[in-house]
Amino acid sequence: MRWYSVSGDPLHVGSATVTTFARVLSVGGSRGGFAWQFPTHVRVERADRVEVLPIVDISRIAVYALYALAAVLFIRLWRGA
* DSSP reduced 3-state for 55: coil
Alpha helices per DSSP H over 7-81: 58-79
Overall number of domains in the chain = 1
Give the gyration radius of the chain's Cα atoms.
19
Task: Give the pLDDT of residue 29.
Answer: 80
Q: Exposed, middle or buried by CB within 10 Å (0-12, 13-18, 19+), for 56?
A: exposed
Band of pLDDT at residue 70, cut at 50, 70 and 90: very high
Res 71 pLDDT > 90: yes
pLDDT score recorded for residue 46: 95
**Amino acid making up residue 19:** T
Is the entire prediction scored with pTM above 0.85?
Answer: no
12 has which bridge partners? 17
Residue 36's domain comprises 2-79
Give the model confidence (pLDDT) of 4-28 as tens digits. 999 999 999 999 999 999 999 999 8
